[in-house]
Amino acid sequence: MKKISIIIPFWKYLNYLKECFSSLKESTFKDFEVILVLDHVTEDITSIIPEGIDVKFVNLNEKQGCAAARNEGIKAATGEFIYFLDSDDYVLDDTLELLVNAIQGEEDIVYGTIKNTWNNKANFLDKQTKQEESNDSEDREAELEEKENARQEKIDNYVASLPLGSNIEKELAIYFLERNRKGIRNFTVLGNLYRRSFILENDLKFHEEFRYYSDMTFMCPALENVHKATRCKDSVYVKRKHNDPINKPALWQEDNENRFEERCKAIGYTRTLIDPQGTVRYFIDMKFAHFATNTMAKKIRRSKDNKWRKEYFDTIVPYLMDSHPQVLDNIGSQNKKILMAFMAGDVQKVQKAVRFKLGKKKLKSIFKNKNINTLYKLAYYHVYLKKPIKENVVLFETFMAKNYSDSPKYIYEALVKEYGDKFTCVWAINNGAEIPYGAKTVKRFSFQYAYYLAVSKYLVFNVRQPLWFRKREGQVFVETWHGTPLKRLVFDQEEVTSAAPKYKQQFYRQRLEWDYLVSANPFSTKTFRSCFMYDGPMLEYGYPRNDIMYYPNKDEIALELRKKLGIPANKKTILYAPTWRDDESYGSGKYKFTLALDLQLMKEELGDEYVVLLRTHHYIADNIDTTGLEGFVYNLSKYDDISEIYLISDICITDYSSVFFDYANLKRPILFYTYDIEKYKNQLRGFYISMQDEVPGPLLMTSEEVVNAILNIDQIKEQYAQRYEEFYNRFCSYDDGHASENIVKEVFGKNK
C-alpha cells in the first residue's frame, strides 16, 4: 500500500496540469499514487505525465464536476492517506515529505499551509527567494519575530478560551483550517493529509450537486469528527490563481447566475451534517454572515441589477435567520446593524446601514493622509463626468506623463501643422517641461488631469489609460501603443510576473475603450488582435514616432543634437538601449537594472573610435553609475525622445526591447546583447518571433563578444545583410515618414 493517494480532478487547461505533474515529479517524497480523475477531457494528456509516477486514471462517465471527481478519486484510492491536489495548483519539493514526517501516531488529519500565487513554480520560488533576501536585515527580522509572537499570542488566547476538557488538537484544526481561512472560498480541503480510514468511517464526501461550494460539505463534518490532528506549518500547498479570467477562468472566476443560490443551499445542506451548537457551525455561519454584510450588502446598495435587492435578498434571509446565536453577538458593530436589518427582512434598512458604513469608510480613507490625493478621482466621477464634452480638446499622454515623446508627440505636431489652433491641446507631463507650440500642460493624477480626462473629446495615449477612467459616449480614444511586439503581451502571455497580476482582467475592459489602435506593420496588426483581444479599427500607417527617420532634414537634426549633447565630432556612437526585466521590481512600475555590459572593457577596446550612448527603459529606477567613464559613456536615460537618439546612433545594441524594430528603419547595424535569453524566453515572457533566426543581427552573450562584434562590424553587416533586408520588408514597410499626418487626417479630419 502506498503511503499517499493524491487525488487530482482534471477537466481543462493542460498547461496547469503539466506544471502540477512536474511538481510531483520533483517531490522528495515518492511513496504515492496519483488518482487522476478525468472529467470529460478532450485533450491528449498522456504526453504531459512524467515517467516514474504511478498514475491511475478514472473516468467520470455520466457525472461531472469537481465534487464528483473527488468522490470517485476517494473510491479508487488505496493509500493510507489521501491528499487533494487541484490540477491547476502544485506542490513544492518538500511539501509531502514534511507532512509525512509530521505524523506522530494515529492522526486523522495532518494539515499544512496554503500559499496563493499568480505564478508558475519557477517564478514563485524566485519571488520567495527575493522576499527572503529582503527580510535579511536585523530590523526586518525583529519585525517578523514580533508578528509571529502576536500570532502565537492569538492562538494561545484562543486555546485558553476553550472550555475545560476540550479536545485541543481538534479545536486547533478548526481554528487553522476553518476560522483562519478567510471567506468561504478559502475554506478548502486542499493542502492536508486525511487518513483514508477516517474518511471512510465517517462517510465524508463532497456533495455533488454543488459546483462551487462542495468543499464545506466535506470539511465541516471532517472537522466535527476529527480526534487527532497535527499541524505542519512548513508544508506548503501552492494555490495558483488564474491570471486570465477571460479565457481560462478558475471555478471561482466563472460568471454563473446560480452561484448565489448554490452558496445558500450549500450552507443549508452543510448545517444538516453538523452540531447546530458547535464551533464548526459557528465559524461557517460567521463566514456566511460576513458574505451577507460585506459582499452582498454592497451589491444590494450599488448593483443596477434589481435581483440583489429582491430575489437574492428573499433567498438569503431565511438562511441568515438560522445563524448560530453567537454570530450576532460577535460580529462587528457596523455589520451587526446590517445583519439585523437582514434578519428583519427589511431591504431598505439594509441599504441604509450599508450606505452609512460605506460613507464612513470613504471619509476615513479620504482623511487618512495617504488618500487625500485621490480626491481628484471623486471629482472625476461626481463633477467632471457631468460636464459637457469639449469638442476640440485633445489630451495627450506618453509613458505615464514621464516625457514628451513617442507617437503622441508626432501626432500632436502633425495636428498642429494640419489644423493650427483649431484644437486645444493638453499634455499630461510630470516633469514640468514646456511643450512646443503652446500646449497646456497638466500633471498626471491631478484635478486638472481628471478634468481633461473627463471632458476632452480626443485622447491620444501610448500606454493604457488609468484604471479609473471611464470613457464617455462621444469621446474618441486613440491608443498608439509603444512598440512592435517581440515580447509576448497580455492574453498571449502565460505568466504575468510584472507588478499587476490582474493585468489581463483589467486589459479586457480597457481595450474596449479604444476607438483606434496604431499598428506599425502587418505583424503588429495580427499580434495586437490576438494579444489585446482587440477587434476595433487599426490605424495602419506606420509608427508616427518613426516619421523622424524619414524627415528630409534628419541629418541636420542629428548634427544639432550631437552638438547639444556635447558628443565629440570625431567619434562614432553606440547606443545601448536594453529593456526592463519583469521579475526585478521595486514595486509599481519601478524596476531594477543591473548593468551586465562591461563598459570599462568597451572603453579600453573601443574608446578611440566610439562613445556609448546609454539609455535605460523608462521603468528603470536605478541610476547607472558611470563614474570613471566620463567622456566615453553618455547617459541619455532621461532624454525625452529616443527616436531623436536613433538619428545620432551609428550602431544599436539592445536585447528584447522593441527598439530594434524602429531602429531598423535606418538600416544601420543592430547587435543583441542577450545574456539572459533563456530565462527571459522560457520563464519571464516568451517571444513572438525567433530571436535566433529572425532578428537582424547576432545574439551575443558576453561583453567580449559585443566588443568583438563592434570591432568587426563591417563583417557583421555583410553577414546579416539578407536577413536585415527581409526584416526591414516585414516590419518597416509601412513607415514612410507620413504616419502622423495620415493618422491626423483619419481621426481628426472627421471633425473638420
Residues that bind ligand C2G (CB under 6 A): 481-483, 485, 487, 489, 577-579, 615-617, 642, 657-659
Helix/strand/coil (H, E, C) string of 673-724?
ECCCHHHHHHHHCCECCCHHHHCCCCEECCHHHHHHHHHCHHHHHHHHHHHH
Q: What is the distance between the alpha carbons of residues 487 and 472, in angstroms, rounded to a whole number?
A: 32
Nearer to ligand C2G, 211 or 590 (CB): 590
Give me the phi and psi of 240, to 5 degrees please.
-100, 125
| Least gap, CB of 101 to ligand C2G (angstroms) | 44
Residue that is written with C-alpha cell 509603444 in the block: 482
* CB of 367 vs ligand C2G, minimal distance in Å: 37
CB nearer to ligand C2G: give 415 or 645: 645
Residue with cell 517571444: 687
Distance between CA atoms of residues 665 and 735, nearest Å: 8
Nearer to ligand C2G, 65 or 408 (CB): 408
The phi-psi region of residue 542 (left if phi > 0; otherwise alpha if psi is between -120 and 50; otherwise beta) is left
By C-beta, is 469 or 528 nearer to ligand C2G? 528
Query: In terms of CB distance, is 207 or 482 closer to ligand C2G?
Result: 482
Tell me the helices (H) and strands (E) count for the chain, helix number first: 29, 23
- Min dist. Cβ of residue 399 to ligand C2G (A): 7
Quote the least distance from Cβ 728 to ligand C2G, whole Å: 17
Distance in Å, CB of 630 to ligand C2G, minimum: 21
State in angstroms the smallest separation of the CB of 429 from ligand C2G: 16
- In the bound state with ligand C2G, the residue whose beta carbon lies nearer, of 212 and 661, is 661
* Distance of closest approach, residue 489 Cβ to ligand C2G, in angstroms: 6
Query: Between residues 441 and 546, which has the closer beta carbon with respect to ligand C2G?
Result: 546
Residue 675 burial (CB count, 10 A): 19
Distances in whole angstroms, Cα of residue 589 to Cα of each of 103, 498, 581, 585, 679: 45, 9, 11, 7, 21
Output the smallest distance, CB 734 to ligand C2G, in A. 15
> Considering beta carbons, is residue 339 or 489 the nearer one to ligand C2G?
489
Q: How many CA atoms lie within 13 A of 325 on its CB side?
A: 2
Please report, as a single letter, which amino acid is at residue 371.
N
Smaller CB separation from ligand C2G, 214 or 462: 462
Tell me how crowded residue 605 is: count the other CB atoms within 10 A of its CB: 18
What is the closest distance, in whole angstroms, from the C-beta atom of residue 541 to ligand C2G in the complex? 17
Give me 612's grid cell: 556609448
User: ∠ CA(529), CA(530), CA(533), 5° rounding?
Assistant: 75
Burial class from Cβ neighbours inside 10 Å (0-12, 13-18, 19+) for residue 425 reads: buried
Q: Tell me whether strands 476-479 and 633-635 are parallel, antiparallel or unpaired.
A: unpaired
d(CA 176, CA 163): 18
Task: Find the shortest distance in angstroms from Cβ 725 to ligand C2G.
Answer: 22
CA 117 to chain centre: 10
Judged by CB, which is closer to ligand C2G: 611, or 659? 659
417 vs 638, which CB is nearer to ligand C2G? 638
Closest contact distance (angstroms) between CB of 542 and ligand C2G is 14
What's the rounded Cα separation, in Å, for the pair 521 and 664? 13
CB of 585 to ligand C2G, least distance (A): 13
User: What H or E segment, with its residue span, contains residue 260?
Assistant: helix 259-271
Alpha helices by DSSP H, listed for 36-104, are 66-76, 95-102
**Whose Cβ is closer to ligand C2G: residue 578's or residue 696's?**
578
Q: How many CB atoms lie within 10 A of CB 126?
A: 17
